[in-house]
A and B are shown apart, each in its own frame.
Chain A
Amino acid sequence: MAALEEEFTLSTVFLGAGPDGLLGVEQSDKTDQFLVTDSGRTVIHYKVSDQKPLGSWSVKQGHIITCPAVCNFQTGEYIVVHDNKVLRIWNNENVNLDKVFKATLSAEVYRIHSIQGTEPLVQFKGGAVRGLEALLAEPQQKIETVTSDEEVIKWSKFFMAFKYPVLIFITEKHGNYFAYVQMFNSCTLSKYTLLLGQEEKSVIQSFAASMDRKFISLISLSSHGCIYETLIPTHPSDTEKNQKVVRSLLLKAVVSGNPRNGVALTVLDQDHVAVLGPPLPASKECLSIWNIKFQTLQTSKELPQGTSGQLWNYRENLFMLHGKFLTVIPYKCEVSSLAGALGKLKHSQDPGAHAMPHFVNWETSQGCGLGSQNSEQSRRNLRRRKIEVSLQPQMTASKRLLLAIKKDSEKHIEVELRKFLAMKQTPDFHTTTGDIVTGLLGRCKAEPSFYPRNCLMQLIQTHVLSYSLCPGLMEVALEKSDVQMLQLCLQHFPDIPESVTCACLRIFLSIGDDSLQEADINMESVFDYSDSVQDEKMEEQTEILQNGFNPGEDNCNNCDQELNEKPQDATEEITSCPVIPKRAALLNAVLHSAYSETFLLPHLKDIAAQHITLFLQYLYFLYLKCSENATMTLPGIHPPTLNQIMDWICLLLDANFTVVVMIPEAKRLLINLYKFVKSQICVYSELNKIEVSFRELQKLNQEKNNRGLYSIEVLELF
């Protein structure tokens, strides 16, 4: 799982950020220290862990910095360019930028690139590149132009590939994009035309690149919010001019199109990308981490004060301009596995219950980055399949449905949906379904009165949806307190975040009994516990025998007296279910859902104390019911297991212990639980005692077999 940590502002100093944000954030030669260049005249040197600047330098009034300052890792000096052509080099001891080394160059500088382990490179706006040493030796040397007229460099990156530095830069000319790759080991410059595919008109907003074995993986974010990947070979097969590279879709609609401030993306590791931008047209900007391998949203953070659409990533820290302040958000990316991406596996389901696979089949799905990336073969297959798919009539059905969603009435949508569902399911069925749900939810947000409950329920029951495919669905259901929908989601989604599970739990516990009675809730996980109340007498006996040990016999049990004071209550509390069956069914859905303890615990703390008590009572009731029979299971079709019950009791107590201890109503419950734990300890200590006795018995047994040190016996061999 990837996670964003608590953000912090790097400095309270108001940065002179222009309308285009900062010029850049670059690493310094010491870890944890960075050079921030604003779009005016200032370069500030920050130490991130201290959250304070170590130094600040400005160019003279009238000059303007045109290229972000970088650090020369070989010498520890800083380099900046102002007024396009004037190069300045200084170090920490210099105070005034006007008095430091200066070199005036013959051409305009686009950027200076500096990375660890090699000398800095100066890239000119014409695309030509010079090493810093060579340039300083002869500052006025002639600089050739590599790019054609009107070609503008949009983005560039310098990095090490197999010990050799590689520079990649992207140019744009009349809406066409070109990628240039300069290899410094072989001094070759290759030019590639980026083919945009179907979405010809889209404008590419942001680029990121990473090395991926023999290819440079160029990730681009286009203006309509999709992420594409382009693989550019580092060793070009033929030297033919103007080769073409195709990009393929990795993720769809991660940000809404045409945002005000632009969007940005950066590659975190081979499976994760961070995207900055508004997820929906109307919403505030968000920083989100996506897993491109499993196409799941890992985490996201809202940035309400807006950003400049710029994002830098160094050493597990993301830098961005939030409002007017430079903000740092540390992140963690762990090696992604399916289990990690989806959380704890659900409790085993009835094999017959789901004919459809629960998870999206990544191999066959279209239009998305495959699990087996880099495999050219599968990529080709993918494109071919895409064409085939587009020929099928289903496309039209779903398109019609999508159109209907935009404007038609609920009735009409339902009819279209039925048509759509009646179609044969194709490999991209789940993505289409996801699109439909997103569409429906978009309209829900826009029109508060619009709530196509039936459609959504039908879509959920197709078993192809998951939380990450339609993140808004449960939020809407939570907003509307639609418990039935929530129950359905809990039963069918494998990847519900713990916070949402907790929100569901909160609603299930707080919703009034009256409103529950009206709801049509799936009751299969609830056994009619009221039946068993009739043979109360017999049960009482078994209930006390917990795990074969009778806590009543415990001699030092002063809580027993308290229990005996109100025996009436005790029987009542134990034998009758503390919640109505419908609520029980909802709670069981929560018990069945998958979770990771660490993520769940903080959210459990938010639940009100009386609800915690109620839930604990219910769980305790379930536990008692479990211990009634030898197999320690509950009756019913799909009941919660003992492990789930115990895990939840422990979780609730862990999260809310201080609160629960203070509530008088919970006291009896806690005493019961305490007694239960104590009895368990007693059982184990008894077992330990028995072990000793057994060993003595064993010894006795051995002695019996031992026939003494000497005997004469008769042996007959046959």
Chain B
Amino acid sequence: MGEFKVHRVRFFNYVPSGIRCVAYNNQSNRLAVSRTDGTVEIYNLSANYFQEKFFPGHESRATEALCWAEGQRLFSAGLNGEIIEYDLQALNIKYAVDAFGGPIWSMTASPSGSQLLIGCEDGSVKLFQITPDKIQFERNFDRQKSRILSLSWHPSGTHIAAGSIDYISVFDVKSGSAIHKMNVDRRYMGVSKRKCIVWGVAFLSDGTIISVDSAGKVQFWDSVTGTLAKNHLIANADVLSIAVADQEDSFVVGTAEGTVFHFQLVSVTSNSNEKQWVRTKPFQHHTHDVRTVAHSPTALISGGTDTHLVIRPLMERVEVKNYDAALRKITFPHRCLVSCSKKRQLLLFQFAHHLELWRLGSTVATGRNGDTLPLSKNADHLLHLKTKGPENIICSCISPCGSWIAYSTASRFFLYRLNYEHDNISLKRVSKMPAFLRSALQILFSEDSTKLFVASNEGSLHIIQLLEGNFKHLHAFQRLSGTVEAMCLLAVSPDGNWLAASGTSAGVHVYNVKLLKLHCTVPAYNFPVTALAIAPNTNNLVIAHSDQQVFEYSIPDKQYTEWSRTVQKQGFHQLWLQRDTPITHISFHPKRPMHILLHDAYMFCIIDKSLPLPNDKTLLYNPLPPKNESDVVQRRTAHAFKISKIYKPLLFMDLLDEKTLVAVERPLDDIIAQLPPPIKKKKFGT
């Protein structure tokens, strides 16, 4: 299979931002996640937990609340006082409405989904009516004296509970007046704390209000009498979040100690009808604050400052005990943040607000498998390119020749020309970008760096001819009639004739760049595309899907290749299908047309199409290096999948030349080291 020199890169100093809110949509089985930098991500839980969409963050737009309403419309609200609706098709922000109540701390949709309720800094609770294309302010509820940090509707929609500082209010929706004010005990283990912040409330249909607060308590209130019914002290630190199952038979809370507790409504004695809430299971999957939790019918979902999104299936609710029943921990985005210039051996790293350009080092030494070679030249940090404005970068790309860098934010598109003179680099921004190039979801340069392909969020694909220091707009493929979806993945053939583009759910479209027309559409598949690439010479399009299927489609023949059919007939190895991160990058070996190189976050694989496919009885992974020659030969010819798990978590891997690979790793420990310290807990003693 071959020997490679691998540039093992760990200087990509990427730290995902902490998770602030999660919102689960039962209808579409999707999960919306907002991060502290304002990014909102949509995960498709039916499609192997794939992150299919994302909305870039914005410095001033710290989201504090996220909710689904009216079926599948997504709203967020934040400390800038605005309510935002997201366009899930075009992948941009539909509109932002100022609520005029100061920073918004909480938001919830009514049980019917037709109204939005927000809690503001100034103590006001505002009701908005959701109209088909916007939201409309309806009225204010009785103003409270301090900020409203949490809100919950009664399932009948007649009452709401609002958590504030030191008390919980119950409002009558019809009159908008507060009918109860329930004071929360400030004391914490007998000591009076300064303030008791009610971080979360949940209103159950039997009139019980569950509150979680900064004194570590989970309390049950009777909303009819306004009295405390039950108190669970569960943590020495804040309890930050609560989510109740739709059936109201279980709920989940998250604490600042990183623990998630599951509460269930359990019969007091067997076969008695009397039930009570019992703390059943603690889970410690987080090291830091669990800022938010959600309860899907089959799983507990939690996220927080430690940036992991944890999906913990409830074994008793999972019907089939397959691999879906396993714990999922999602840390890295399911898209590429790294691009590479093969010719100049450059790596471009994309951060939220800047780009970094690095030149890889080199060595003259050779060695055997596993050796670390002495460096003759170390890697150089060439460039640190800061964005202007508060918006996060959506996508970026460096051209294969290394002379162009392009990136885009939500409102601006930037193209730079790089000049190399010995060790000096000069950077020149290409000005006067055309007005239609405002925002791109994906940017790609052709192999010869003469063309730039841009997928804009209006759904069109632009082809731009790059000249020395200038550009020319060649063509725009307009959005195909009948599709509303934006394209977010692009692939171009090395000969520059074919362009493949894919949205999140519809099929892959292949365009003929020479003739500037749509060539064909690959049949749609149930699961979203996670990576695309077109092989040199054969022009076979390789498509990876979130269910870990890989297809090979011949563009000239407009059909799946023989190999792809064989693979589908025989099926992938069970362990291959059980991987829980998607393939994010596919590349090819220039001299070995039978090889496909692909990777996910935990493995790198070369598929040799000439070898037989593994079946479920054969060993998919070869953990140990072979001991003798015959063993080597035997393994080389054993099956098509050559897998290496040395590099992880792997954010990017590509072939620089025939004998050289570059692997960008991001060890979790390095991320943890950059997070604020967690709450210290004693392990021993009294």
Chain A residues within CB distance 8 Å of chain B: 335, 681, 684-685, 687-688, 691, 702, 706-718
Given A335-B269, A717-B1, residue A711 in contact with residue B375 (CB < 8 A): yes
Q: Indicate whether B669 reaches chain A with its CB closer than 8 angstroms.
A: yes
Contact (Cβ within 8 A) B269 A717:
no
Contact (Cβ within 8 A) B370 A688:
no
Q: Which residues of B lie under 8 Å from residue A718 when comparing CB positions?
A: 1, 622, 625-626, 632, 635-636, 642
Instruction: State the CA gap A600–B11 with chains docked (Å).
Output: 67
Q: Indicate whether B606 reaches chain A with its CB closer than 8 angstroms.
A: yes
Chain B residues within CB distance 8 Å of chain A: 1-11, 269, 361-363, 366-373, 375, 378-379, 606, 622, 625-626, 632, 635-636, 642, 644, 646, 661, 667, 669, 682-686
Q: Which residues of A lie under 8 Å from residue B635 when comparing CB positions?
A: 718
Contact (Cβ within 8 A) A714 B5:
yes
Q: Which residues of A lie under 8 Å from residue B378 when comparing CB positions?
A: 710
Contact (Cβ within 8 A) B10 A715:
no
Q: Which residues of B lie under 8 Å from residue A712 when comparing CB positions?
A: 5-8, 361-363, 372-373, 375
Q: Which residues of A lie under 8 Å from residue B366 when comparing CB positions?
A: 714
Instruction: Provide a sorted-by-A list of 26 A–B residue pairs whose CB atoms are within 8 angstroms.
Output: A335-B269, A681-B685, A684-B685, A685-B685, A687-B683, A687-B684, A687-B685, A707-B8, A710-B11, A711-B8, A712-B6, A712-B362, A713-B6, A713-B8, A714-B5, A714-B366, A714-B369, A716-B1, A716-B3, A716-B368, A716-B625, A717-B1, A717-B2, A717-B606, A718-B622, A718-B635
Instruction: State the CA gap A715–B653 with chains docked (Å).
Output: 13
For the complex of A and B, 9 pairs with smallest distance between CB atoms? A684-B685, A716-B369, A687-B684, A717-B1, A718-B635, A709-B11, A717-B642, A716-B3, A714-B367
Instruction: State the CA gap A710–B12 with chains docked (Å).
Output: 10
Instruction: State the CA gap A712–B370 with chains docked (Å).
Output: 10
Most chain B CB within a 10 A radius of its CB, from A681, A687, A713: A713
Neighbour of A709 across the interface among B10, B644, B646, B682, CB < 8 A? B10
Q: Which residues of B lie under 8 Å from residue A707 when comparing CB positions?
A: 8, 372
Instruction: State the CA gap A681–B367 with chains docked (Å).
Output: 56
Q: Which residues of B lie under 8 Å from residue A706 when comparing CB positions?
A: 667, 669
- Starting from the known contacts A712-B5, A712-B8, A715-B644, 12 additional A-B residue pairs (CB-CB under 8 Å) come to A681-B686, A687-B683, A687-B685, A708-B10, A709-B11, A710-B9, A710-B379, A711-B8, A713-B370, A714-B3, A714-B373, A718-B642
Neighbour of B684 across the interface among A684, A702, A708, CB < 8 A? A684
Most chain B CB within a 10 A radius of its CB, from A709, A711, A718: A718
Contact (Cβ within 8 A) A714 B686:
no
Number of A-B residue pairs at CB separation under 8 A: 97
User: Nearest Cβ in chain A — how far from B624, in angstroms?
Assistant: 10
Q: Which residues of B lie under 8 Å from residue A714 when comparing CB positions?
A: 3-6, 366-371, 373
User: Nearest Cβ in chain B — how far from A345, in angstroms?
Assistant: 19
Contact (Cβ within 8 A) B669 A702:
yes
Q: Which residues of A lie under 8 Å from residue B6 when comparing CB positions?
A: 712-715
Contact (Cβ within 8 A) A716 B2:
yes
Contact (Cβ within 8 A) B1 A710:
no
Instruction: State the CA gap A717–B640 with chains docked (Å).
Output: 12
Contact (Cβ within 8 A) A715 B636:
no
Nearest A-chain residue to B647, judged by Cβ: A715
Q: Which residues of B lie under 8 Å from residue A702 when comparing CB positions?
A: 669
Instruction: State the CA gap A712–B606 with chains docked (Å).
Output: 20
User: Nearest Cβ in chain B — how far from A338, in angstroms?
Assistant: 13
Nearest A-chain residue to B669, judged by Cβ: A702
Nearest A-chain residue to B660, judged by Cβ: A712
Given A712-B375, A713-B372, residue A688 in contact with residue B7 (CB < 8 A): no
Nearest B-chain residue to A710, judged by Cβ: B379
User: Nearest Cβ in chain B — how far from A254, in angstroms?
Assistant: 27
Instruction: State the CA gap A450–B155 with chains docked (Å).
Output: 75
Q: Which residues of A lie under 8 Å from residue B661 when comparing CB positions?
A: 715
Instruction: State the CA gap A283–B29 with chains docked (Å).
Output: 75
Contact (Cβ within 8 A) A684 B686:
yes
Contact (Cβ within 8 A) B371 A713:
yes
Instruction: State the CA gap A718–B369 with chains docked (Å).
Output: 10
Given A710-B8, A712-B372, A715-B6, residue A688 in contact with residue B682 (CB < 8 A): yes
Q: Which residues of B lie under 8 Å from residue A687 when comparing CB positions?
A: 683-685
Contact (Cβ within 8 A) B361 A715:
no
Given A710-B8, A710-B11, residue A715 in contact with residue B646 (CB < 8 A): yes
Q: Which residues of B lie under 8 Å from residue A685 when comparing CB positions?
A: 685
Contact (Cβ within 8 A) A711 B644:
no
User: Nearest Cβ in chain B — how far from A688, in angstroms?
Assistant: 5
Q: Which residues of A lie under 8 Å from residue B606 when comparing CB positions?
A: 717
User: Nearest Cβ in chain A — how far from B509, in angstroms?
Assistant: 34
Given A717-B606, A718-B622, A718-B642, residue A711 in contact with residue B372 (CB < 8 A): yes
Q: Which residues of A lie under 8 Å from residue B269 when comparing CB positions?
A: 335
Nearest B-chain residue to A694, judged by Cβ: B683
Instruction: State the CA gap A395–B175 with chains docked (Å).
Output: 78
Instruction: State the CA gap A713–B371 with chains docked (Å).
Output: 6
User: Nearest Cβ in chain B — how far from A594, in angstroms?
Assistant: 23
Q: Which residues of A lie under 8 Å from residue B646 when comparing CB positions?
A: 715
Contact (Cβ within 8 A) A710 B3:
no
Instruction: State the CA gap A684–B686 with chains docked (Å).
Output: 8
Instruction: State the CA gap A450–B195 with chains docked (Å).
Output: 74
User: Nearest Cβ in chain A — how far from B82, in angstroms?
Assistant: 40
Q: Which residues of B lie under 8 Å from residue A681 when comparing CB positions?
A: 685-686
Instruction: State the CA gap A691–B363 with chains docked (Å).
Output: 42
User: Nearest Cβ in chain A — how far from B232, in angstroms?
Assistant: 21
Q: Which residues of B lie under 8 Å from residue A717 when comparing CB positions?
A: 1-2, 4, 606, 642, 644
Q: Which residues of B lie under 8 Å from residue A709 when comparing CB positions?
A: 9-11, 379
Instruction: State the CA gap A685–B686 with chains docked (Å).
Output: 9
User: Nearest Cβ in chain B — how far from A456, in angstroms?
Assistant: 39
User: Nearest Cβ in chain A — how far from B211, in angstroms?
Assistant: 29
Instruction: State the CA gap A718–B637 with chains docked (Å).
Output: 8
Instruction: State the CA gap A711–B373 with chains docked (Å).
Output: 7
Q: Which residues of A lie under 8 Å from residue B669 when comparing CB positions?
A: 702, 706
Contact (Cβ within 8 A) B369 A715:
yes
Contact (Cβ within 8 A) B684 A691:
yes
User: Nearest Cβ in chain B — how far from A430, in angstroms?
Assistant: 27
Instruction: State the CA gap A307–B224 with chains docked (Å).
Output: 46
User: Nearest Cβ in chain B — how far from A710, in angstroms?
Assistant: 5
Instruction: State the CA gap A710–B362 with chains docked (Å).
Output: 11
Nearest A-chain residue to B662, judged by Cβ: A712
Q: Which residues of B lie under 8 Å from residue A335 when comparing CB positions?
A: 269
User: Nearest Cβ in chain A — how far from B654, in angstroms?
Assistant: 14
Nearest A-chain residue to B7, judged by Cβ: A712
User: Nearest Cβ in chain B — how far from A697, in angstroms?
Assistant: 15
User: Nearest Cβ in chain B — how far from A453, in angstroms?
Assistant: 44
Instruction: State the CA gap A687–B685 with chains docked (Å).
Output: 8
User: Nearest Cβ in chain B — how far from A333, in angstroms?
Assistant: 15
Q: Which residues of A lie under 8 Å from residue B363 when comparing CB positions?
A: 712
Q: Which residues of A lie under 8 Å from residue B367 when comparing CB positions?
A: 714
Nearest A-chain residue to B642, judged by Cβ: A717
Q: Which residues of B lie under 8 Å from residue A711 when comparing CB positions?
A: 8, 372-373, 375
Q: Which residues of A lie under 8 Å from residue B379 when comparing CB positions?
A: 709-710
Instruction: State the CA gap A201–B368 with chains docked (Å).
Output: 105
User: Nearest Cβ in chain A — how far from B611, in angstroms?
Assistant: 12
Most chain B CB within a 10 A radius of its CB, from A335, A688, A709: A709
Q: Which residues of A lie under 8 Å from residue B372 when comparing CB positions?
A: 707, 711-713
Contact (Cβ within 8 A) A713 B5:
yes
Instruction: State the CA gap A391–B378 with chains docked (Å).
Output: 103
Nearest B-chain residue to A691, judged by Cβ: B683
Contact (Cβ within 8 A) A688 B375:
no
User: Nearest Cβ in chain B — how far from A559, in angstroms?
Assistant: 21
Instruction: State the CA gap A624–B198 with chains docked (Å).
Output: 52
Nearest B-chain residue to A686, judged by Cβ: B684
Q: Which residues of B lie under 8 Å from residue A710 when comparing CB positions?
A: 7-11, 361, 375, 378-379
Instruction: State the CA gap A718–B371 with chains docked (Å).
Output: 16
User: Nearest Cβ in chain A — how far from B662, in angstroms?
Assistant: 10
Neighbour of A715 across the interface among B4, B667, B685, CB < 8 A? B4
User: Nearest Cβ in chain B — how far from A691, in angstroms?
Assistant: 6
Instruction: State the CA gap A712–B660 with chains docked (Å).
Output: 10
Instruction: State the CA gap A711–B683 with chains docked (Å).
Output: 38
